Chains A and B, each alone.
Chain A
């Protein structure tokens, strides 16, 4: 599709979409959102590129190959279950850690976030792998 409008918009929207996708991932614990939607949004950022130019261009811009994303995401999700084992609790029991930031800010990190990030990466990788694989034929 050779549309100047779309191509220009895509260039602006892509970083925005990626940002939003991470935002959606992070807010998922308390507000609507989460790793699954986040991952799909992240994939759609590259889908936009694939539609306006071609899948090859989108693939080149992706820092990691989609199948690497798949493996990395699964590893992250599975690894999020390990800290619980060190505490003698069942695999995948959520662990929370309070961390103090400068400027008297307090942040709570948990293994759930790591798990959700893993889901994000897997979903993004899966969506992109399927899209690239199916879309590449016509080039």
Chain B
């Protein structure tokens, strides 16, 4: 399973080469990857639907509790099939949609990496691994929204999505770590088994709040929904894939996955259900007020995400089954409608429904796909959307005394019915519109995808029994225990749900006919999007203010601030100690050591007193070499070598830049002189104290002895220092060299930043 998660990343590396080699066919070629994944997952499906789980674990960094642990159960399989299945269609559709685009290769890199990350999210069985993939989906989503990076709206939309979901991701990390600490395991399956421990813990509300924050931001729940419509700046197939069918459902997945650990409490019920209900109604209402096809679809997606969240909030067998079916239904019809919107935009040159109409004669195949998907979205038979909606209504009715909940679901159903009319019927029927381009049928790549998706919706609607096993095993995975078999049918008999469906259809038709008037209704102009802007402005002005104070452009004040802060903070910590142990032992000081110290002291005096910068630099070099000699005398040749070379390079660097540094005259006034001298000498004093203190501490000899004894037998090296750096603690070293590289790039970038005004090249 590691292989199927890594494969998309490997293919992503090859994608630009394939697209350069055969730009016309690369969509079809790359679609083979998700197709292969679908077939592989399908081959595992019977096992999973029989109630077994497929587990694969590879050690990654076991000492950090981080394993590449993957686990495929009913819930993961449902999502994975959705991701790879719709992935096939989106990948080849993109080839036609972005045909001839010069960055097609770059687009596929991000898209395939997203596919892999999303698979990772739903298959990961380790909280850290889950988080890593979760963040990767945010990053690839950022790249895809900002794909058309020359437009400001695309850049802003991308940044907003990244900031909102990234902030949620941090909260999620904190929540997951707390949960892992409480249950004592980083394994998700282990964490789920420790659900009672979590629910009874005093920190349960905090854990729940943090994890919900992560899930709600990702799945665009109110009040974080505002990023999703702005994410519509992405190329349409990416919107269809990320922002309708898969990524935004990651939050829903997380809630479902963690239900056995966090669910079942009153707090869960009220928070999740209410958030879902508000999102469901707000999203559907706002969808009707839009005229851009993608915006209508985006807001209706928010509404559906609300429904899914609401079902998880309710949290019983019926709700979980309804969640599984509605998830599939929505993925199929919303994916299809987005792809239709892309085809319409491609062929007619606009997505504005007030300028579109009567396209059915010029784009018949697209119209068929749109109509079928629209019927599913409206919740009418014989599509799978009908079954989904019936199940949602039934699940809401099973809640005793919650008539408002049923009413809200029915109202959202009516609003979505009208939105389906706007998105799927309006552009294709009625009088011809006035699009900027003369519309004609889209090429095969653009209509085949939506037709396949909508056709699957019809097929599953007519033969819902095929989903019995999938729905039952998904519901069982959410419940954390095997679930009773599910029997789905298109027609449930004449019951209250059917009656409600008829009512919503009637109300939806009325809303559809009156939507032009709805759009004129005045709405308050404030909302969460405004809060986001205010918060962003606040952060920016805070950053500007502290930059003005701390980074005033004078190097000497930077040094002063850094040293004074270090002295202050460390000094505070030392002052809190009751007794400072000092390990000075002046008994066995040798004569040559005294000489060395005198040399160093004299060089320091020269460096401080010398009027010439060059002399001061040279004197500092002597100090460094003296230190290296001390290292040699005390048996640390590795340290000495490094010290010598660092010292030489530092002097060279100083000599190189000395000309361009401003000539700073030394402070002559007593005030600044006293300030500088006191900061410098207190820093020296502090370091001296620290060294003496360190020498006095009895070292835990075990670790030193361990390294010395095991260096040769375990790592085959006699240089213990090097073996520690490059073998025992190699992960630390990897981190350190990364820091070195980043620091060097930082210096380079800063320098370039200064050059930009008046730059010629």
Contacts and interface: CB of A to CB of B under 8 A. Distances in A.
A133 B747 contact: yes
A119 B725 CA distance: 10
Contacts of B642: 36-37, 40
Interface string B51-91: 00000001111110000000000000000000000000000
B680 to A, nearest CB: 24
A22 interface: no
Contacts of B646: 40
Contacts of A30: 717-719
Interface of A is mostly: helix
Interface string A2-20: 0000000000000000000
Contacts of B579: none
B719 A134 contact: no
Contacts of A123: 737, 740
Contacts of A73: 737, 741
B518 interface: no
Given A32-B638, A44-B645, A119-B726, A51 B716 contact: no
Contacts of A108: 716
Contacts of A51: 652, 655-656
Interface in A80-139: 81, 85, 88-92, 94, 96, 108, 110, 112, 115-116, 118-119, 122-123, 125-127, 129-131, 133-135, 137-138
B751 A90 contact: no
Interface of B: 58-63, 637-638, 641-642, 645-646, 648-649, 652-653, 655-657, 659-660, 715-719, 721-723, 725-727, 730-731, 733-734, 737-738, 740-741, 743-745, 747-748, 751
A50 B744 CA distance: 18
A109 to B, nearest CB: 11
Q: Which 9 A-B pairs have the closest CB atoms?
A: A126-B744, A135-B656, A32-B637, A29-B717, A40-B645, A30-B718, A90-B59, A129-B744, A34-B722
Given A78-B734, A127-B744, 20 more contacts: A29-B716, A29-B722, A32-B719, A33-B719, A34-B721, A34-B722, A37-B641, A44-B648, A67-B744, A74-B738, A90-B59, A90-B60, A91-B60, A92-B730, A94-B730, A115-B730, A119-B733, A125-B741, A134-B747, A138-B659
A131 B653 contact: yes
A31 to B, nearest CB: 6
Nearest to A113: B726
Contacts of B657: 134-135, 137
Contacts of B653: 130-131, 134-135
B726 A134 contact: no
A77 to B, nearest CB: 6
A37 B628 CA distance: 13
Nearest to B642: A37
A29 B751 CA distance: 37
A81 B59 CA distance: 12
Contacts of A96: 716
Nearest to B653: A131
Nearest to B749: A133
A32 B641 contact: yes
Interface of A: 24, 28-37, 40-41, 43-44, 47, 50-51, 55, 66-67, 70-71, 73-74, 77-78, 81, 85, 88-92, 94, 96, 108, 110, 112, 115-116, 118-119, 122-123, 125-127, 129-131, 133-135, 137-138
9 contacts: A40-B646, A44-B652, A67-B748, A74-B737, A91-B61, A92-B61, A123-B740, A126-B740, A134-B751
Contacts of A116: 722, 726
A74 B741 contact: yes
B645 A112 contact: no
B738 A33 contact: no
B387 to A, nearest CB: 44
B606 to A, nearest CB: 22
Given A32-B637, A50-B656, A92 B748 contact: no
Contact of B734 (A32, A77, A138): A77
A17 B717 CA distance: 25
A110 B733 CA distance: 17
Contacts of A137: 657, 660
Nearest to A32: B637
B741 A28 contact: no
B726 A47 contact: no
A90 B718 contact: no
A41 B652 CA distance: 13
B727 A90 contact: no
Given A37-B638, A122-B740, A122-B741, A112 B648 contact: no
B727 A94 contact: yes
A13 B99 CA distance: 56
A131 B653 CA distance: 6
Contact of B716 (A47, A110, A134): A110
A120 to B, nearest CB: 10
B637 A77 contact: no
A138 B747 contact: no
A62 to B, nearest CB: 14
Contacts of A35: 726
A34 B743 contact: no
B720 to A, nearest CB: 10
Nearest to B638: A32
Contacts of B726: 28-29, 34-35, 112, 115-116, 119
A117 B415 CA distance: 63
B719 A34 contact: yes
B718 A130 contact: no
Contacts of A91: 59-61, 731
